[in-house]
Chain A
Amino acid sequence: MIKNQEYLSEKASYCLDLAKKLGATDSSVIVSNSISETVNFRNKKLDESNRSDNLAIGITTYIGKKKSSISSSNLLRENLDTLIEKCIETTKNTPGDEFNSLPDKDLLAKEVKDLNLYDDTHIKNENKIEYLERLETSASSDKKIVNTESSFTEDKSNFILANSDGFLKGYKSSSFTASSVIVAKDDKSMERDYEYTSKCHLKDINDAEDLGKLAAEQTIKKLSPKKIGSEKIAIIFDKRIAKGILSTFASAISSSAISRGTSFLKDKINQKIFSDEINIFDKPDILKGLGSRSFDSEGVKTNTLKLIEQGVLKDYLIDTYNGKKLNLKSNGRCGGTSNLYFDNGNISYKDLLNSNPRCLYITETIGHGSNIVTGDYSVGATGFLLENGDFKYPINEITIAGNFKDMFKNIILANDLEFKYATNSPTMMIEGMVVAGK
């Protein structure tokens, strides 16, 4: 059983009281417990079971403008006493910073919204096994499939966030995740692909057979890939890759990158950085949303932000510290975005595939090739060559490159948005990117 609110609140209050007694002028604490149970299958047989029970506490103490923090997984009182003493001692010896402070009181969340993020259902390992058996049987129907590895995870967590200004709130959340990684082989090649489903509520996850079938089909399609030549070409990004481009945008407008001057989007507020058709939202109150939350990791209430409106940058992602530095109010984005998404575009998926006589459809990228200081982008990629909307053959061992400043202006979106992850994009096309191959 995960620890209840009373247990976590009691620990949080104890820490705040002790920090105050030892000389902290302000303090904040987060106490959390999560229990996760995973079953892994390989080639239709049980491979691994894993149960994890994680306790964690993080305390930040302030003495005036001086600040320090500690974290631990040991919640025994004696250990907490030692750690808080150490934290206060370190705080005293750390130079002050004029922007250090708790969030403004009037920005703190007044309530925990009921966003339906917790499903109390406990699915026994036997039932996880039954799901995985169906998944892997469905995934293994083709002779080309040589290895299947699938897993089912049930996660339950609870937390309390508290600070010395009287904030003390938290809530439970859950997730149920099933995934399958498939390896297929023919005489020329061996390829891997995957599919997965993750939801707050058990009854919302994908059917096991459908998941297995999709993962297997996607893998087989990649067999016997070719390498193409180097050229300038239009690129279509599958949704699972397009969301990564949206995440890069989010890192580039974080108040920390902006205040430190290390983002290619610094000083671009109220300027057009995408085309007219592009709108980007960050919406924290989607019911059962994988990124939904009532407040950020400092307790600041979160409202929906329209980050890009008709191509124009309207807001940064602001936390308390960097907000004070930029002379802006926190908008509750300490810890990042919530449910971030591109609004749907105007054309169908099919029309997008048909919009160029020849283009690449990218399903996977590898490498850490996004530079948010310069906006340069260069990654390894695999996918398919498309001709007149038809998938001709798989391609690999190529790179795709460009600069986000140009790429953003050239984004065209399909109208097939779905909420599969916390960050979501419709299928995306960018023209004029450079592919390096043979």
Chain B
Amino acid sequence: MSNFFEKSDLSRSDAESIISDTLQKCDDGELYLENSKSESILLDDNKIKNSSYSSDLGFGFRAISDEIVAYSHSNEISKNSLKQSSENLKSTLKSAKGVYNHELPKSNKKYYENINPIDQKTLNEKIEILNNVNKYLREKDNNVKQVTANFLGEQKSIEIIRSGGETLTDIRPLVRFNVTVMLEKNGRKETGVYGIGGRKSYDAYLKEDNWKNVCDEALRIASINLESKPAPAGEMKVVLGPGWPAILIHEAVGHGLEGDFNRKKTSAFHDLMGQKVASEGVTIIDDGTIDNRRGSLTIDDEGTPTEKTVLIENGILKNFMQDRLNARLMKTRSTGSGRRENYRHIVLPRMRNTMMLNGNHTQEEMIKSVDKGIFAVSFGGGQVDITSGKFVFNCTEAYEILNGKIGSPIKGATLIGDGPSILKEVSMVGNDMMLDPGIGTCGKAGQGVPVGVAQPSILINKMTVGGTKL
């Protein structure tokens, strides 16, 4: 546990009185303190390219009056610095006349342990694994021309002090292991990427069979891409594989169901609550409570315990994801979705682990039903325009489907669709739901936060595939 006041001229009771004084006529707000330690070790081009360590310390002070948010952050935890921030907030909210909302739900549940992954393995052990990864891949396939592998480990300690002195803390471990491999054959180059991670120690992800599995996946994807043909262009049926392809859900509907865009009525979903937005059989939840998952949180960054929020139930829109600010203004409750990248950023309603639940079809059935279309197994990133509802994602492993059979692999192509209507085009939901391997980072308003996704295989009747073959 970090003691943020240990080496400072600012005592906890000083801080508490500055906080209470600053927030007295505000509707909400808090002092958020954060101490994070992170490391990155990178192997690239046969060498350890980088071993770096970072420690970051700071606070963010937030005051909210009605719709107005005043925020100030600094790296210096000192009396002067906090007072300066306080003056800053007060000057923005001169006319505040609210009543502070002390209500904050409580829970004793924890979804990960208080560990520091960085200390649980020596540097030499980590370097040895990376060297083994490099050797394994280069020995396995002569076409391997480049291998990049890296570890990222982090421990983030946070403390939230609210007006009146209520204090909440959380310690969040996070690790990630990633492999990128480039193959070259007959003058053609292709890459494959795979990774794993979550909120456990390195050992949970880096036993020999774990890392070999990551290498094999990256190599398999790159090998398939070496044989790929130009992708088709135009509207067609798309079968999505289980797991990571659920970033479709994240982009197509997830962002559009975040509270801020709906309060501001800039989301294509803002007037669709209680209405049918997806085919029957489609249920989507956003869950912060799955043990050790990348997107899980014991409490969110406002201190609210996370939960399992039902967004769409059997096709009907049920809930938006809320932080405290948007919940108050929309007269509902926070769903524990208030998140920030770090103390430099304001809180926004964000996704945690976004999942489509199982239906009762099989992937085979879906493929068999398609005359002409594509089967997309793995993706790079995605993006959405909240307002028009249009979203894209980039295939990194996909195949042609012809007359009910999987055909040749096709080159990476962008798929584009319309968020509010795409889920109505889902005609089969599979029974093979899978979580992603633990690698997702979601970007919004310049803030990146770790997230997870999950889904079974699904069949979409109509999507535009952005290939080059007309």
**B264 at the binding interface (Cβ < 8 Å):** yes
> Within the complex, what minimum Cβ distance (angstroms) separates A98 from chain B?
9
**B71 at the binding interface (Cβ < 8 Å):** yes
**B165 at the binding interface (Cβ < 8 Å):** no
Q: Which residue of chain B has the shortest Cβ distance to A219 in the bound complex?
A: B387
Report yes or no: B58 in contact with A73, Cβ–Cβ below 8 A: yes
Provide the residues of chain A in CB contact with B382, threshold 8 Å. 367
Report yes or no: B392 in contact with A72, Cβ–Cβ below 8 A: no
- Cβ contact of B265, chosen from A67, A86, A147, A437, cutoff 8 A: A147
- Cβ contact of A373, chosen from B68, B190, B235, cutoff 8 A: B190
**B276 at the binding interface (Cβ < 8 Å):** no
> Within the complex, what minimum Cβ distance (angstroms) separates B121 from chain A?
12
Q: Encode contact with B along A118-147: 1 for CB under 8 Å, 0 otherwise.
A: 000000010000000000000000000011
Provide the residues of chain A in CB contact with B45, threshold 8 Å. 259-260
Complex Cα–Cα for A48 and B66 (A): 11
Q: Encode contact with B along A278-298: 1 for CB under 8 Å, 0 otherwise.
A: 000000000000000000000
> Within the complex, what minimum Cβ distance (angstroms) separates B181 from chain A?
11
Q: Which one of B52, B124, B146, B235 has the highest number of Cβ atoms from chain A below 10 Å of its Cβ?
A: B52
Q: Encode contact with B along A148-175: 1 for CB under 8 Å, 0 otherwise.
A: 0100000000000000000000000000
Q: Which one of A53, A83, A125 has the highest number of Cβ atoms from chain B below 10 Å of its Cβ?
A: A53
Q: Which residue of chain A has the shortest Cβ distance to B50 in the bound complex?
A: A69
Provided the pairs A46-B92, A192-B387, A380-B390 are in contact, do residues A401 and B466 lie with their beta carbons within 8 angstroms? yes
Provided the pairs A69-B50, A183-B266 are in contact, do residues A398 and B56 lie with their beta carbons within 8 angstroms? no
- Count A-side interface residues using an 8 Å CB cutoff: 77
- Cβ contact of B233, chosen from A75, A373, A434, cutoff 8 A: A434
Report yes or no: B76 in contact with A399, Cβ–Cβ below 8 A: no
Report yes or no: B234 in contact with A436, Cβ–Cβ below 8 A: yes
Provided the pairs A260-B44, A402-B468 are in contact, do residues A436 and B182 lie with their beta carbons within 8 angstroms? no
- Count B-side interface residues using an 8 Å CB cutoff: 80
- Cβ contact of A190, chosen from B72, B383, B387, cutoff 8 A: B387
**B138 at the binding interface (Cβ < 8 Å):** no
Binds A, one of B198-206, B207-215, B408-416, B431-439: B408-416
Report yes or no: B233 in contact with A192, Cβ–Cβ below 8 A: no
Complex Cα–Cα for A170 and B332 (A): 51
> Within the complex, what minimum Cβ distance (angstroms) separates A218 from chain B?
13
**A25 at the binding interface (Cβ < 8 Å):** no
- Cβ contact of A366, chosen from B92, B385, B470, cutoff 8 A: B385
**B54 at the binding interface (Cβ < 8 Å):** yes
Complex Cα–Cα for A382 and B85 (A): 42
Q: Which residue of chain B has the shortest Cβ distance to A97 in the bound complex?
A: B47
**B168 at the binding interface (Cβ < 8 Å):** no
Chain A, 15-53, CB within 8 A of any chain B CB: 42, 45-53
Complex Cα–Cα for A260 and B72 (A): 42
Report yes or no: A97 in contact with B268, Cβ–Cβ below 8 A: no
Complex Cα–Cα for A48 and B191 (A): 43
Provided the pairs A83-B55, A374-B190 are in contact, do residues A52 and B73 lie with their beta carbons within 8 angstroms? yes
Complex Cα–Cα for A53 and B235 (A): 49
Provide the residues of chain B in CB contact with A401, threshold 8 Å. 231, 233, 413-414, 466-468
Q: Encode contact with A along B371-395: 1 for CB under 8 Å, 0 otherwise.
A: 0000000001111111110111110
Q: Which one of A54, A368, A378, A434 has the highest number of Cβ atoms from chain B below 10 Å of its Cβ?
A: A378
**A94 at the binding interface (Cβ < 8 Å):** yes
Provide the residues of chain A in CB contact with B51, threshold 8 Å. 67-69, 90, 94
Report yes or no: A373 in contact with B182, Cβ–Cβ below 8 A: yes
Complex Cα–Cα for A94 and B51 (A): 7
Provided the pairs A46-B68, A374-B190, A438-B235 are in contact, do residues A190 and B467 lie with their beta carbons within 8 angstroms? no
**B7 at the binding interface (Cβ < 8 Å):** yes
Report yes or no: A52 in contact with B92, Cβ–Cβ below 8 A: no
**B48 at the binding interface (Cβ < 8 Å):** yes
Report yes or no: A147 in contact with B69, Cβ–Cβ below 8 A: no
**B185 at the binding interface (Cβ < 8 Å):** no
Report yes or no: A378 in contact with B417, Cβ–Cβ below 8 A: no
- Cβ contact of A79, chosen from B55, B234, B265, B467, cutoff 8 A: B55
Provided the pairs A73-B57, A192-B387, A230-B233 are in contact, do residues A399 and B71 lie with their beta carbons within 8 angstroms? no
Q: Encode contact with B along A69-86: 1 for CB under 8 Å, 0 otherwise.
A: 111111110110001001
Chain A, 185-228, CB within 8 A of any chain B CB: 189-192, 225
- Cβ contact of B145, chosen from A47, A67, A95, A261, cutoff 8 A: A261
Report yes or no: B412 in contact with A371, Cβ–Cβ below 8 A: yes
- Cβ contact of B76, chosen from A55, A125, A146, cutoff 8 A: A55
Provide the residues of chain A in CB contact with B390, threshold 8 Å. 366, 380, 382, 396-397
- Cβ contact of A74, chosen from B52, B75, B385, cutoff 8 A: B75
Q: Which residue of chain B has the shortest Cβ distance to A72 in the bound complex?
A: B55
Q: Which residue of chain A has the shortest Cβ distance to B415 in the bound complex?
A: A399
Provide the residues of chain B in CB contact with A436, threshold 8 Å. 233-234, 416, 464-467
**A348 at the binding interface (Cβ < 8 Å):** no
**B1 at the binding interface (Cβ < 8 Å):** no
Q: Which one of A47, A49, A400 has the highest number of Cβ atoms from chain B below 10 Å of its Cβ?
A: A49
Provide the residues of chain B in CB contact with A262, threshold 8 Å. 146, 182, 189, 191
The 10 A-B pairs with the shortest beta carbon distances in the complex, nearest first, are: A399-B466, A436-B233, A380-B392, A367-B392, A192-B387, A49-B92, A230-B234, A73-B75, A378-B414, A380-B416
Would you list 16 pairs from A and B whose C-beta atoms are within 8 A, ordered by A residue?
A: A45-B67, A47-B67, A52-B74, A72-B55, A86-B53, A94-B48, A125-B92, A189-B388, A191-B388, A192-B386, A376-B411, A378-B468, A382-B388, A401-B231, A434-B469, A436-B465
- Which residues on A are within 8 Å of B, measured CB to CB? 42, 45-55, 67-76, 78-79, 83, 86-87, 90, 93-95, 97, 125, 146-147, 149, 183, 189-192, 225, 229-232, 259-262, 264, 364, 366-369, 371, 373-374, 376, 378-380, 382, 396-403, 434-438
Given contacts A73-B56, A192-B387, 5 further A-B contacts (CB under 8 A): A47-B68, A51-B88, A146-B266, A190-B266, A373-B190
